[in-house]
Chains A and B, each alone.
Chain A
């Protein structure tokens, strides 16, 4: 039945976590402000990942000064493909994926063409802080381009899909894949029009789906079903997510992975205020799962044993 809105009581019954409650009961008490830079600044996240042997895309160079912008081609060592990312960007903004170039012309995965001037302008904009969270001057990370795993070939348009895992007190409580669409212009951000599908925490298999806040079963562009895809290396992905959550010491965190054709799950970034659309993608509310984790004795939340909780969680 098509509905325009739901009553708060229905949302409560469904265990849906609202943004105010997320902020007041998850983000504020569990995520100390001082640790935010560990996730807001991508190169810091990467350093942490290195330290804990969590796979991340190789960093080619970090540009911090406008003076270095013209030299960026030298700095990346004439690599064919690369990704430019704002060091403190959010929502996939400011990310430029170059699939091939000849030093003067740069082509994205979607086939868009940029001139060298366009790319240096983009780098300048990144450094000026146009895409950074607080508008502060930023740095630009130039890193390895990940090749999307073929499993998503039919349900991702013009971009790289990613997998998000939300962890509560370092226990994975919900996961989804985010699939770029034409509307999202290749970005895997639900808010910008990407599609999402819930991922079963035990099997790593997709189900359900959401696009533009509405439940969907198919990719809006390719019309392929987004359910029933099995994510390769799912257990490794969950282990990496838990390790990173422990490393950043944030109690409520979203970790984004890209599934590389060769390397398997690779961490793209972490987020201290992950969005709530994951609930729509999973067609489940987060609250019962958070309550379940809260109800566990500390002994069951240890790094080695918490994996056992996942099977119980997934049924909630």
Chain B
């Protein structure tokens, strides 16, 4: 097969390889990886009870995975209880662990869930459309939520003022519950009617009042019981927290009346159980005691152990991230350069001089870098002209220009400092050698060809450097490349395509403009 014939296959192969690598890594990252800023927590359930018969059952709701939290491990301490196959709880989306005693008697158990909280979002299967029987359930009365009660209807009537959207109505009901039902101690009203009548309620009463108002307005609503996964005051006890989910436009929106969070709750809210009932529910038992606690824990290592770890660039220390990102952006600079040289046909001083210049600028504010480069070029060129009189050999002459360039840069920094500009410490990273060569080549070109051509090359170099700078400055792209370095398969594919381009350069459309007409 000829090289030309193989090109599409090679490009296709690279594209497929790149896409596959990205997919595999993405899948891996989503399922296992721990990202910077992620935190680990151990949620513990403890309970003791006396099983009256062997038919006693312990239903423990399992913390639900959300966009920002998931259980990566759970364990049940040996307690003599037997575990029944895990199954979906009757309440939507929750699962529960069911234990049973082998015989009647006193039991105590402890189970824990290791959770990872992340600032990044994992995909979560969306909840399907609400089946009619569930809809009826989320619109009807239940314990503590007396939808048909007169006071509920009266409050809804009061709050439903004129034409308003469903969402506005929910917002008004929510604001009413937040502002007009005073939060009182746990022993205050626990139910909707009590809360609405007295204007004082426990957190549960408040939430139930909001659910009742929503349901009476024909908006499906449900209670959610879960935990706030965050550091606790020493000695305090973790209590389940109750909030509300309301179905608006086929989406369940979360409202927390107690903390006045509307439409969504913070990512450390982890739902455990939906609908009526408790997190740990024990049947056929007496002397039931339940207790919960939360403690921070270390997450398992972020990367796979062993040699595969080197493939994960995110495991590098933070301070290395930006330089690594820059390095990974350089091939894009090469891509831009290749495009401009091969397809546009622009000539510059040195093939990768623009890329290297741009790379140096990324470390600086261009507002400070540009004047420094301009000053170095102008002064460098004028001293190069003076130097010409000395008739020095090439390498020593370059050495002198390099020295001058360094001195100019150092004093430029000093001048900027004098004028209150804070030059970036990395200004010194401006590529002195590149600038030196630029000075020399510019000078030689003015001598060998002419000033016009030299200025043309310099401008082309500057324009290309700016374009590459713009690419390098694209932090998001750098971050993405750090996570998925295999994306450079696409870069290579692009370079191959440019490398096989045999069409006319754009500049040739100008250069040969006299030709076709000249054919006679």
Contacts and interface: CB of A to CB of B under 8 A. Distances in A.
Contact of A1 (B345, B515, B517): B517
Interface stretch (B107-115, B375-383, B498-506): B498-506
Contacts of A305: none
B6 interface: no
Contacts of B500: 24
Contacts of B503: 8, 18, 20-21
B73 interface: no
Contact of B512 (A21, A124, A279): A279
B509 interface: yes
A18 B505 contact: yes
A11 B509 CA distance: 8
Nearest to B499: A24
Contacts of B448: 93, 192
Contacts of A183: 450
Best-buried of B342, B394, B449, B512 by chain A (most CB within 10 Å)? B512
A11 B517 CA distance: 10
Interface in A110-158: 117-118, 121, 124-125, 128-130
Given A8-B509, A18-B508, A20-B342, A280 B515 contact: yes
Size band of the interface chain B makes with A:
20 to 34
A307 interface: no
B308 interface: no
Nearest to B4: A24
Contact of B513 (A5, A18, A191): A5
B391 A117 contact: yes
A64 interface: no
B459 to A, nearest CB: 18
A16 interface: yes
B515 A279 contact: yes
Nearest to A19: B505
B395 interface: yes
A299 interface: no
A207 B393 CA distance: 44
A51 interface: no
A162 to B, nearest CB: 18
Contacts of A283: 514-515, 518-520
Interface in B342-375: 342, 345
A85 to B, nearest CB: 15
Contact of B509 (A5, A93, A118, A121): A5
Interface in A160-198: 183, 191-193
Interface string B206-250: 000000000000000000000000000000000000000000000
Given A16-B515, A213-B511, A215-B514, A11 B504 contact: yes
Given A21-B502, A24-B502, A124-B393, A11 B514 contact: no
A276 B71 CA distance: 68
Nearest to A8: B504
Nearest to A124: B393
A48 B391 CA distance: 35
Best-buried of A18, A66, A124 by chain B (most CB within 10 Å)? A18
A243 interface: no
A13 B517 CA distance: 11
B129 interface: no
Contacts of A1: 517
Nearest to A23: B502
A117 B390 CA distance: 10
B516 A13 contact: yes
Given A93-B448, A125-B394, A3 B509 contact: no
Contacts of B394: 124-125, 128-130
Nearest to A216: B514
A124 B394 CA distance: 8
B517 A20 contact: no
A245 B9 CA distance: 36
Contacts of A220: none
Contact of B508 (A11, A130, A210): A11
Contact of B502 (A18, A121, A191, A279): A18
Given A11-B508, A19-B508, A20-B502, A118 B391 contact: yes
A285 B387 CA distance: 46
Contacts of A7: 509
A286 B44 CA distance: 82
B352 to A, nearest CB: 15
B517 A3 contact: yes
B444 interface: yes
Nearest to A131: B448
B50 to A, nearest CB: 87
B510 interface: yes
Given A11-B515, A24-B500, A128 B508 contact: no
Contacts of B515: 6, 11, 14, 16, 279-280, 283, 285
A292 to B, nearest CB: 16
A6 B516 contact: yes
Given A8-B503, A11-B509, A66 B516 contact: no
Contacts of A121: 391
A214 interface: yes
A280 B505 contact: no
B502 A215 contact: no
Contacts of A8: 503-504, 509
A49 to B, nearest CB: 27
A7 B503 CA distance: 12
Contacts of B502: 18, 20-21, 24-25
Nearest to A193: B450
A215 B509 contact: no
A3 B449 CA distance: 26
Contact of B518 (A66, A128, A215): A215
A292 B342 CA distance: 27
Nearest to B448: A93
A4 B504 contact: no
The 6 closest A-B pairs by CB, nearest first: A128-B394, A283-B518, A121-B391, A14-B516, A21-B502, A215-B514
24 contacts: A1-B517, A5-B509, A6-B512, A6-B516, A10-B516, A11-B512, A11-B516, A16-B515, A16-B516, A24-B500, A93-B448, A117-B391, A118-B391, A124-B393, A125-B393, A128-B393, A191-B449, A210-B514, A213-B510, A213-B514, A279-B515, A280-B515, A283-B514, A283-B518
Given A4-B513, A129-B394, 13 more contacts: A4-B510, A5-B513, A7-B509, A14-B512, A16-B504, A19-B345, A117-B391, A124-B394, A192-B450, A210-B514, A280-B518, A283-B519, A284-B519
Interface of B: 342, 345, 391, 393-395, 444, 448-450, 500-505, 508-520
